[in-house]
Amino acid sequence: MFAPIVLAAGGSSRMGRSKLLLELEGVSLLRRAARAAVDAAVGPVVVVLGDAAERARAELDGLPCSIVADPALPSRGMNASLAAGLAAVPAPAAGAVVLLADMPLVDAAAIRALVERHRATGAPLVATRYCDALAPPVLYPRARFAELAAGGAGDGIGRALLRRYRAQLEAVDAPPGALADVDGPADLERLRARLGEGGTR
pTM value?
0.90
Confidence at residue 82, expressed as pLDDT on a 0 to 100 scale: 94
Confidence at residue 201, expressed as pLDDT on a 0 to 100 scale: 45
Instruction: Kindly give the interhelix angle for 157-164 and 78-87, rounded to the nearest 10 degrees.
Output: 80
Residues of the chain with pLDDT under 50: 199-201
Structural domain containing residue 121: 2-182
Nearest to 59 by CA among 82, 34, 84: 34
State the distance between the two ends of the chain, measured CA to CA, in whole angstroms: 36
Q: Is residue 200 part of a domain?
A: no
Q: Is residue 106 part of a domain?
A: yes
Summarised one tens digit per residue, pLDDT across range 124-157 is 999 999 888 899 999 999 999 999 998 765 567 7
Confidence at residue 14, expressed as pLDDT on a 0 to 100 scale: 52
Question: Which CATH number fits the domain that encloses residue 126?
Answer: 3.90.550.10
User: Domain tally for the chain?
Assistant: 1
Q: Is residue 132 part of a domain?
A: yes
User: Which bin fits 167, alpha (ψ -120 to 50), beta or left (φ > 0)?
Assistant: alpha
Q: Is residue 187 part of a domain?
A: no
Q: Is residue 117 part of a domain?
A: yes
Confidence at residue 166, expressed as pLDDT on a 0 to 100 scale: 92
Confidence at residue 15, expressed as pLDDT on a 0 to 100 scale: 52
Length in residues, the chain: 201
Distances (CA, A) of 106 to 44, 60, 164: 18, 17, 25
Q: Is residue 176 part of a domain?
A: yes
Q: Is residue 164 part of a domain?
A: yes
Q: Is residue 190 part of a domain?
A: no
